[in-house]
Structure 1
């Protein structure tokens, strides 16, 4: 299950939960197979802005849940599937880079994307935060039905500053020099407040870069409502994990999204992989979209200092999708092999 926010321009209390659920299925999630709205809570209230409705308790976005395709959930980092691997990979990689936009000319579930360029990068702190693995279960052996679990997040000033400086340096290479910090310091008063404090301090060293600090729930809405206002989004391990999948889906499909798990100091190897992970539920069926993997290879070539070769891969992706050779996840009928052959042909043309 994943949480989504349906945010029309105006909140109307006369809409029933069922009406909004059907609107979700017809609109925001149109074209996504096996998608259904299982549960949605919408309180009665008068007309007003979504922000005002949320603030007034009229609208409960956290209670909107949508069921996706069957099978195992995927994550932004394949290392997350195994805790031992995660700890080892985090020590080596340190951070995750997940481009949220896509140049591939496919139809996005976000109708605003028809005339809005989606061009942002999610920078994910990948070595600490909520996935540090600190905590325990059954701490006091309370007996049947009384088990206790504690899951702690670890934030260090060094880790926060490292990822934020990377984000600011990246923003300086982009057309829109802006960094958006994602936080939840209104509810997590220790780790996320440290995150905010470090962000403010680091921002002083980059006076040429525009900044904003946005709560993660509000940022989820911004991905949908104002994607054109985003350039570089820096977030903690958990928050960036969620937002990167949201951004990939808005760009058209998780199958399009590439990622790089980088060790910026470079004493250790970096890891490049599609955001969708291994997708074991469709393995061997010719359904997987190879574009995310090829895009990840482009990120790898760029990391190796081979921008021209990376650009060739990106142009091959554009040519293939522009020709309408698409897998099912983006509305086509081509198989994995068909798309891969088209990519190779575009590279050698």
Structure 2
């Protein structure tokens, strides 16, 4: 949960909470998913929440979220419970004359299901990746074929990538933490949940692509890096690589492609593929780092046969609908796809 202290920040704004009373949320710690609230001042919030960026992993801030005189937000049940409790506490504070007004008054909430996010098919992912520099393209392919989060991918180190194992895989260790960008600074912070620590098995083609990627830059510590081997910044990647790939380029004969797609939607894309391919729910939860919430989930277990069958379907997707590889290039533009 992000709490904005001070004034709103235009089209990417949160509620206007009085910083003097923000400490009240400390009492709500046990009720908040993800370990508590992040208190950000106006400049920090503006840096973190850019239009179209992902906040708290699954919440998107987009055009139209902010209306005159308040903020329209759409909440799931957990967030609804927290907001109701917080509003009650603030209401009591008003009655006791500790504060002048309830800071929740400008929130207009709805609790219906959020609009369905777009996803991409295999060929769309392949085309988006092809339109990027090889390293960025492989980042896209890895996100779509593993379901890993942005923060997990951008802080991934080669020491955690095991390509010579019988079944190549990536180890996501909570001790490594995830990469966050706050107020223009790149920092390592805690993963979303304890379930984020997991093994992510790789289909053969992706293991091969990662080997070639490592061969191109054998002395790097991190798998995916930005210009000059620096860590990725989400805003830069979105502006320089993601949006141009979706917008298209008439000079290269690139047509616009799935323009409402966000990088985080590659995670939704991966789960959609797994559902379509009849991958068992328990394996989907484990692979994506989701908590097991239902009774049936607690009594189900992932088997090697399940994993192999899933990898076979992902490999088939690649060979049937994808299959493009990048030439060894250092420039930022690829030739138009055939």
Q: Which has the higher strand share?
A: 1
TM-score by length of 1: 0.24
Q: Which has the higher helix share?
A: 2
TM-score by length of 2: 0.25
